[in-house]
A and B are shown apart, each in its own frame.
Chain A
Amino acid sequence: MPKLTIDKREIEVAAGTKVIVAAERLGIVIPRFCYHPALGSVGACRACAVAFLEGPVKGIQMSCMVNAMDGMVVSTTDPEAVDFRRHVIEWLMLHHPHDCPVCDEGGHCLLQDTTIAGGHGLRRYKGTKRTHRDQYLGPLVQHEMNRCIQCYRCARYYQEYTGYRDLGVMGIGSRVYFGRSVPGQLESPFAGNLIDICPTGVYTDKPSRYMGRRWDFQRAPSVCLHCSLGCNVTVSARYRQVVRLEARYNREVNGYFICDRGRYGYAYTNAPDRPRQALAAGRITAMDEAVEHGRSRLRETMARSGSQSVAVIASSRSSLETLATVKQVCRLHPWRGPAVTQTRREAANLQTAVAQLKPEFAVSLGAITAADQVVVLGADPLNESPMLALSLRQAQRQGGQVTVIDPRPVSLPLPFDHQAVHPSRLPAVMDRIITLLGHRLKSTAPPATAIAEPDMAWAEALVRQLAASRRAVIVCGTDITTPDEIGMAAAMAKALRQLDTEAKLFYTLMGANAFTAALTESPDPSIESILEQIESGSVRALLVVEQDLWQCYPDRVRLQAALDRLDLLIVMDHVASPILDRADCVIPTQTLYEAGGHWINQEGRLQNAQAVLKAGEPIAISGQGNHPPRHLSPRISGTEAMTARAAITALVRPEDRPQAEEFDRAMEAAVDAFHPVIISLDPRHIGRQVDSDAVGGTNPVSQTSSRAAAADAGRDTITLLMVDWTLGTEALSSQAVALTESEQNPAARMHPRELEAMGLAHGQTIAITTDKGRIALPLLADDRMAGGVLLIPRHHQLDWQVLGATRLEMDRDRISAGT
C-alpha cells in the first residue's frame, strides 16, 4: 500500500490508485474535466495538473494519470501548477459562449465552478470565437455544441462505456465536434446519461429545458419504478410537477448511470388526465365522501355475502408500506388476496425466483461487472431491464464472456454468444448443461445428447467455459419463462459452486417491488385466480390498489366480463385507466414522488425513496397556461390525494372506538408484521439485502407443466410470446410523451423461415386470432430469433390484451395476412 504526502498530509492508498483519487480521499478535490470514475483516466483536459516535488515522478504532471507511489510528495497549490491550471481554464473558455444565464446547466456546472475557482475572471484573448451548428438529437437530449470544452467524456461514455457508435468525435484541432454524423435521434437507450456526464451545458435535459435552476427545485433521493433493478435516482420537482430525474450514484446497483426509460418515465405523475378527484358512483365528490361511500358499500357486501366475498388486488409498483397495509387488511377481515401478479404462471415464477435466491447466491447489478462468465437464460436484458445490459457490457469489457440462451432476437451493446432456443426446449437445454456440469464434477463422460438437438456442441463449449470460470453469474428472466427454468437456473448456479466457481444468481422480476410482492401474496395468489372467484360468484366486491388492470392484465375480455359481475369495484390509483370509469368508488392516491416509501429490488435490496413534493395539480395545468396563474382559488385540485396506505386505512377503519383503536394498532404494526424477512425499515437496513433465507422453502415449481408444453410444441403450433421492449411496453413510462417520440412502433417478429413457410412477407400486416380476440400489426422477419415463435410487444399502442395470454401455443393458421 503506497504511502504519499499530498499538501503536507499523509495518506495510504491501495496500489494502483491515481493521485487524483488519493487527494479526493483527503478531501482535496483537484479540478478535472476528462476524468470520470466510470470512464477512467485519459489525460486530455490537463486541468488536474499538480506538482510532484519528491519521489519517483517529478515536475508538473496530471494527477489522473499518475499512480500513487511510495514517497511521493505532491503539491496541489504549487505556483507553477496553479498557473498552468489557470491557463488551462483560460484555454477552455476561449470559445465558450458565456451564456450561463440562459444555460440549463448554470448553477450546477463543473465548468462554471472550475472557472470561478481557478480565478480566470478577465478575458485576454482578443480573437474571434469559433462556433458550431447544434444538432437535433431526439426528444430527450438538447445539444448546444458551442459550450463544449472538448473533454471527450461524451464520446468515451457513448462509445466505450455503452457500446453505441452513432455519437462521437469528428474533426481535429480546435474544430473537434461532438455529435452525430447527421442530426437524428440518439440510438442508445442510455443517452440521457450524456446530460449527467457532460461537465457543462452541451447536453442538457430537453423535457425540463428552462424549467428552473438547481436551487429552484425540490430535490430528493428516490428509486426508479420502471423495472425491477431499483436504480437510484434524484428527483427534481417545481411548481407541483416532477421535472427531471438524474442518476444517483450507488456502487452496488446502478453505479453512475440510469437508462432513458427510468430517466424520463416520470411523466405519469404530472399527466393532465391523472385521476385527482375522488368519485363516488360516477360523481365527483370530496375525498371523505368517496371514502364513506366505499365504506358503506363494502359493509353492505360483507353483510350480504360475508367477508370472503371481498378481494384485494395490489401491484408490484406500490411501496412496501402499501403492500404491507394491503396484506394486513386482508388478514384482519379476512378478505381474499392480496393478489399482485397477473397470472398463475407469473405468480409461480415470482415465488420460485424469490425462494431460490438464497443470500449467498445473490449478486448486485454493480457486482455483475466483475463476472468472467455470464449466462443469460430466458431474459432479454436491454428490453426488460436495460441497465443490466450496461452491466453486462462492463463485464465483457473487463474480459468476461456473455452467453444468452433465449428465443428472442436479443440485442446487446457488446459481443456475446446467442443461442436462439425455442422456449419449450429451454428446460431440456438447461437440463443438459446441468448434467454436463455434473459429469465434469465426477469426471465422467457425459451421455450422448438426450434431446433431439441437432447441434448441442455449443452447450459443451459453454460448460467448459463455465467450469474454468472464477466468477460466473447466471441471469434468469421471469417474464417468458416458467418455474422450471427459474428453478434450474438456481440448480445451475449450485452445480457451478460444486466446481469451485464463485457462481451467483441474478433474477430479473416483473415490477419494481416484485420482490416485496412475493412476500405479500396469499397462498393462492394471482389476479387470474381472483377473476376465477369473481366468475364463480364467490367474490362480489373488489378493491384494486394501484394496479392498472386494463393495461396490465393479459386477458381483457375475461377481465371486462369479470368486472361486470361485481357488485362493487373500488379503485385507488394515480394513473388514468378505463377501469376508473367502471368503478363505483375512485380514490386518487399519491405517487412515489409524493408519498415516498420502500422498495425491494430483484436482488432483495431494501431501498428508500423520499417524498419530493406534495400532491396537487401542477401549476402548468391549473394555471391554464398563465404564469403566474391568474386562476385564483383557495383550493388546489389534487391535494386531497392520500397515500394508498392512508386511503386503505380510511376505507376499512371500524367506527366504534375500541375496535378502531385495535385496528389502528394493527395497521401501525403492518410493516413489522408484514414478513419475517423485513426486520425493520430502520435506515441502517436500507440498501442491505433482506435475508431471503427466511422467505421459506415454498417452491411452487411444477415439474411437468412446461415438459408437457414441450411435447405439445409440435410442428403445427407456434408459440406466441408477449414481450417487453425498452420503450413502449412498460405501463408507467409509456405514458411519457418524450419517450413515446423515441419508441418504435409495435411490430410482430418471426424467423424468416416461418414467414417463407407461411407465405408471409417482411413488413406485411398480419392478423392474429385467438379464442379471445384478434389484433393486426406489421410483421418483421428476424433471423436472430428461434423458429416456431411469434413475438408481439406488450406495446401501449396495441390492444395485445385481447389475445388473452402472454405465452400461448397456437395453430399456425391463426396467423393470416390481413388488416
Chain B
Amino acid sequence: MTNDYPQILLKNRKPDRINTLEEYRQNGGYAALRDILARLTPKQVQEKLLDAVLLGRGGAGFPAGKKVVTVADDAPHPRYVVCNADEMEPGTFKDRVFLHAEPHMLLEGMVIAAYSIQADHGIIFIRPEYESAARILEREINLARKAGFLGEHILGSDYCFDIVVHRSGGRYICGEVTAQLNALMGRRPNPKQPPPYATDKGLWELPTLAQNVETLACIPQIIQHGAQWFKDLALTPEAAGTKLFCVSGKVERPGCYELPLGIKLSEIIETCCGGIKNGARFKACLPGGASTGFLTAEHYHIAMDFDSLKKVGNRLGTGAVMVFDHHTCMVAATLNLAEFFARESCGWCTPCREGFPYLRDLLWRIENGTGEADFIPMMRTMCAHMWKSYCAFAPGGVASIESLLHHFEDEVMAHIHDKRCPFK
C-alpha cells in the first residue's frame, strides 16, 4: 500500500483472491449483524445510518440514512433491497476491486440495510462483464446462507432475508436506479421520473431500497464502530468515511485506493499514484467519472469530498479520477466521452437521444479540422438545453463538454483556427 490512512473496506485486500468467510469472521465480520439482530430495532439501525452521514457512493451522494427512513413502517411486503453493482461509469472500477476483495462485507451490509427496513428479498444487480465477481457472490451467498447469515431466521432471530445475483443486460442506463428497477421487472430499462420514489413504490409497486456496493459495504463498519468514528475517518468536517478512489490516466501508478474523504487531489496524484506519468504536467482531471466536469490545475489542491467539489460546481461522482497531462488534447478526450454518451443514451427523451450524437458530430468536426467558430455558442446553448432532459443522464453527459468550453475554449478555438488538432 502506498498510503498510511486507515483502511476499512480494503484492509484485508489480497492480490489474488477474496477474503474468505472464515477470514472475514476472524476479523470481526458479521459481528455487527449479530449485534443488531440481538440488540437493535430497525429504527435504531436507521438512526445510526442517519447519524453517520453516509452519502451514497454510486455517484449521486444521496444520504443513505435519509433513504431508509422513507420506507414507511406500515408499507406493504415483500420489500426489496437492490444492490447496484452495475458499475459502468467510465473510469470507475472500485466495486469490482471491492467485490474481489471483501464480498462478505457487502453481504453483511445488505442484510443490515435490509433489516433496517424489514426487507424480504435482496438482489445484487451486477454488470455482465463482472462475471467472475457474480460467481464469487453466488458462491459466497451460499456459504453465508449455510453459516446462518442469510436466509430463514438469520442467526436464530425472527428475521429472514435472502439475496440473489442478477446479471444486467449490459447498458450504462441500467445503472440509473429507476431504469434498473424496470430492467429487474423485465421491462425496457428506461428511467422513470419520481414520484413515486422507489422506497415507496419500487419493484412491482413495493418498497425498494437501492444502494451502491460501496455504500452498503460501509454499513457494518458504522454499526461496529459508531457514527462518530465513521465521521472522524474523513479529513474535512462535513464529510464522513473513507472513499474508494479509482485513479486512471496519466499517472505513474493508476489503481483503486481507499482514502479518507477530503484528501487533497494533489495528494492522491502525487503520494498515492506516484505523480504524473513521465514527468509531464497535470492539465486536468475528471474527479468522479465521465459524468463530471474537468477540474483544472486551479483546483489541484482541492479537498476531495462531496461538499468541496459541489462548491466549485463539480461533483465527486463515483470517485473515479481520470487524469490528463499537458500532452492530452482535451477536445479529443471530450469527444471520446461524447461517443460514450451518444452510444449509451436510452433513447427515451429527445434532448439526450439526439443531442449527444449532434454534439459528438460537432466535436468530431472540431477535432478533425472542419470546426467553425459558430459551433461554440451552439454547443453551449445545446448543453444548457440538455439539462431539461428526462433524467440525470444528459446533465451528467454534458458536464465534460460544458467544462471543456469553460476551461479550454482557447484550445478549442486553436483547433478551429488551425483547422487541425494542435496535439497531432
Residues of A within 8 A of B353 (CB): 91, 150, 173-174, 176
**Judging by beta carbons under 8 Å apart, are B173 and A43 in contact?**
no
A695 to chain B, nearest CB (A): 47
A43-B193, A173-B345 are known contacts. Are A150 and B350 too (CB-CB below 8 A)? Answer: yes
B347 at the interface (CB under 8 A from A): yes
A810 at the interface (CB under 8 A from B): no
* CB contact between B365 and one of A44, A46, A47, A126 (< 8 Å): that residue: A126
**Judging by beta carbons under 8 Å apart, are B381 and A83 in contact?**
yes
A94 at the interface (CB under 8 A from B): yes
Q: Which of A125, A152, A173 has the most CB of B within 10 A?
A: A173
A169 at the interface (CB under 8 A from B): yes
Residues of A within 8 A of B378 (CB): 124
A612 at the interface (CB under 8 A from B): no
**Judging by beta carbons under 8 Å apart, are B342 and A125 in contact?**
no
Closest chain B residue to A87, Cβ basis = B385
**Judging by beta carbons under 8 Å apart, are A65 and B357 in contact?**
no
A92 at the interface (CB under 8 A from B): yes
Q: In which size bucket is the chain B interface?
A: 20 to 34
A213 at the interface (CB under 8 A from B): no
How far is it, in angstroms, between the C-alpha of A176 and the C-alpha of B189 when the chains are bound?
Answer: 13
A151-194 residues at the B interface, CB under 8 angstroms? 152, 169, 171-176
How far is it, in angstroms, between the C-alpha of A94 and the C-alpha of B351 when the chains are bound?
Answer: 12
How far is it, in angstroms, between the C-alpha of A65 and the C-alpha of B381 when the chains are bound?
Answer: 24
Q: Which of B188, B344, B385, B389 has the most CB of A within 10 A?
A: B385
A463 at the interface (CB under 8 A from B): no
**Judging by beta carbons under 8 Å apart, are B355 and A44 in contact?**
no
Q: Which of B356, B358, B361 has the most CB of A within 10 A?
A: B358
* CB contact between B382 and one of A45, A87, A92 (< 8 Å): that residue: A87
A725 to chain B, nearest CB (A): 32
Closest chain B residue to A171, Cβ basis = B347
**Judging by beta carbons under 8 Å apart, are A46 and B381 in contact?**
no
**Judging by beta carbons under 8 Å apart, are A172 and B350 in contact?**
no
How far is it, in angstroms, between the C-alpha of A799 and the C-alpha of B372 when the chains are bound?
Answer: 74
B378 to chain A, nearest CB (A): 7
A27 at the interface (CB under 8 A from B): no
* CB contact between B358 and one of A43, A84, A91, A175 (< 8 Å): that residue: A91
B309-362 residues at the A interface, CB under 8 angstroms? 342-351, 353-358, 361
**Judging by beta carbons under 8 Å apart, are B344 and A65 in contact?**
no
**Judging by beta carbons under 8 Å apart, are A65 and B346 in contact?**
no
B24 at the interface (CB under 8 A from A): no
B112 to chain A, nearest CB (A): 36
**Judging by beta carbons under 8 Å apart, are B349 and A46 in contact?**
yes
**Judging by beta carbons under 8 Å apart, are B388 and A127 in contact?**
no
How far is it, in angstroms, between the C-alpha of A216 and the C-alpha of B349 when the chains are bound?
Answer: 36
How far is it, in angstroms, between the C-alpha of A385 and the C-alpha of B365 when the chains are bound?
Answer: 58
How far is it, in angstroms, between the C-alpha of A486 and the C-alpha of B365 when the chains are bound?
Answer: 73
Closest chain A residue to B390, Cβ basis = A43
How far is it, in angstroms, between the C-alpha of A150 and the C-alpha of B352 when the chains are bound?
Answer: 12
**Judging by beta carbons under 8 Å apart, are A126 and B361 in contact?**
yes
**Judging by beta carbons under 8 Å apart, are A44 and B358 in contact?**
no
* CB contact between A47 and one of B342, B350, B357 (< 8 Å): that residue: B350
A220 at the interface (CB under 8 A from B): no
Residues of B within 8 A of A44 (CB): 348-350, 390
* CB contact between A172 and one of B346, B365, B382 (< 8 Å): that residue: B346
A60 at the interface (CB under 8 A from B): yes
B253 at the interface (CB under 8 A from A): no
B377-398 residues at the A interface, CB under 8 angstroms? 378, 381-382, 385, 388-390
How far is it, in angstroms, between the C-alpha of A171 and the C-alpha of B365 when the chains are bound?
Answer: 26
A748 to chain B, nearest CB (A): 37
Residues of A within 8 A of B188 (CB): 169
Residues of A within 8 A of B349 (CB): 43-46
The interface bits of chain A over 72-105 (1 if a CB of B lies within 8 angstroms of the residue's CB, else 0) are: 0000000000011001100110110000000000
A49 at the interface (CB under 8 A from B): yes
The B contact surface, by secondary structure, is helix
Residues of A within 8 A of B343 (CB): 173
B188 to chain A, nearest CB (A): 7
* CB contact between A46 and one of B171, B344, B390 (< 8 Å): that residue: B390
Closest chain B residue to A60, Cβ basis = B388
A125-B361, A127-B361 are known contacts. Are A87 and B351 too (CB-CB below 8 A)? Answer: yes
Residues of A within 8 A of B355 (CB): 91
Residues of A within 8 A of B358 (CB): 91, 94, 125, 127
**Judging by beta carbons under 8 Å apart, are B346 and A94 in contact?**
no
How far is it, in angstroms, between the C-alpha of A176 and the C-alpha of B365 when the chains are bound?
Answer: 25
How far is it, in angstroms, between the C-alpha of A188 and the C-alpha of B300 when the chains are bound?
Answer: 61
How far is it, in angstroms, between the C-alpha of A43 and the C-alpha of B382 when the chains are bound?
Answer: 19
**Judging by beta carbons under 8 Å apart, are A175 and B347 in contact?**
yes
**Judging by beta carbons under 8 Å apart, are B350 and A173 in contact?**
no
Residues of B within 8 A of A46 (CB): 349-351, 388-390
B52 to chain A, nearest CB (A): 33
Residues of A within 8 A of B389 (CB): 46
B124-183 residues at the A interface, CB under 8 angstroms? 171, 173
* CB contact between A150 and one of B173, B193, B347, B381 (< 8 Å): that residue: B347
Closest chain B residue to A170, Cβ basis = B188
Closest chain B residue to A177, Cβ basis = B347
**Judging by beta carbons under 8 Å apart, are B385 and A172 in contact?**
no
How far is it, in angstroms, between the C-alpha of A60 and the C-alpha of B387 when the chains are bound?
Answer: 10
* CB contact between A127 and one of B344, B346, B348, B357 (< 8 Å): that residue: B357
A129 to chain B, nearest CB (A): 11
How far is it, in angstroms, between the C-alpha of A175 and the C-alpha of B382 when the chains are bound?
Answer: 20
A26-59 residues at the B interface, CB under 8 angstroms? 43-47, 49
A436 to chain B, nearest CB (A): 32
**Judging by beta carbons under 8 Å apart, are A94 and B193 in contact?**
no
**Judging by beta carbons under 8 Å apart, are B345 and A174 in contact?**
yes
How far is it, in angstroms, between the C-alpha of A4 and the C-alpha of B345 when the chains are bound?
Answer: 35
The interface bits of chain A over 101-138 (1 if a CB of B lies within 8 angstroms of the residue's CB, else 0) are: 00000000000000000000000111100100000000
The interface bits of chain B over 220-249 (1 if a CB of A lies within 8 angstroms of the residue's CB, else 0) are: 000000000000000000000000000000
A768-804 residues at the B interface, CB under 8 angstroms? none
How far is it, in angstroms, between the C-alpha of A161 and the C-alpha of B345 when the chains are bound?
Answer: 26
**Judging by beta carbons under 8 Å apart, are A49 and B388 in contact?**
yes
Residues of B within 8 A of A87 (CB): 351, 381-382, 385
**Judging by beta carbons under 8 Å apart, are B388 and A172 in contact?**
no
Residues of B within 8 A of A83 (CB): 381, 385
Residues of A within 8 A of B354 (CB): 91-92, 94-95, 174
Closest chain B residue to A33, Cβ basis = B350
How far is it, in angstroms, between the C-alpha of A46 and the C-alpha of B94 when the chains are bound?
Answer: 35
B188-212 residues at the A interface, CB under 8 angstroms? 188, 193
How far is it, in angstroms, between the C-alpha of A65 and the C-alpha of B349 when the chains are bound?
Answer: 13
How far is it, in angstroms, between the C-alpha of A242 and the C-alpha of B382 when the chains are bound?
Answer: 47
How far is it, in angstroms, between the C-alpha of A126 and the C-alpha of B365 when the chains are bound?
Answer: 9
How far is it, in angstroms, between the C-alpha of A84 and the C-alpha of B388 when the chains are bound?
Answer: 9
Closest chain A residue to B192, Cβ basis = A42
B393 to chain A, nearest CB (A): 11
A378 to chain B, nearest CB (A): 36
A43-B193, A125-B358 are known contacts. Are A173 and B388 too (CB-CB below 8 A)? Answer: no
How far is it, in angstroms, between the C-alpha of A149 and the C-alpha of B193 when the chains are bound?
Answer: 21
Residues of A within 8 A of B342 (CB): 173-174
**Judging by beta carbons under 8 Å apart, are A65 and B350 in contact?**
no
How far is it, in angstroms, between the C-alpha of A176 and the C-alpha of B357 when the chains are bound?
Answer: 13
Closest chain A residue to B345, Cβ basis = A173
How far is it, in angstroms, between the C-alpha of A571 and the C-alpha of B354 when the chains are bound?
Answer: 62
How far is it, in angstroms, between the C-alpha of A94 and the C-alpha of B355 when the chains are bound?
Answer: 10
- A–B complex contacts, Cβ < 8 Å, 26 sampled: A44-B348, A46-B349, A46-B388, A46-B389, A46-B390, A83-B385, A84-B385, A84-B388, A87-B381, A87-B382, A88-B351, A91-B358, A94-B354, A124-B378, A125-B358, A125-B361, A127-B357, A150-B350, A152-B348, A169-B347, A172-B344, A172-B347, A173-B346, A174-B357, A175-B347, A176-B353
- The 3 A-B residue pairs with the shortest CB-CB distance in the complex, in nearest-first order: A91-B354, A176-B347, A127-B361
Apart from A43-B193, A46-B351, A87-B385: 14 A-B pairs, beta carbons within 8 A: A44-B349, A83-B385, A91-B350, A91-B353, A91-B354, A91-B355, A95-B354, A125-B358, A126-B361, A127-B361, A130-B357, A171-B347, A173-B353, A174-B342
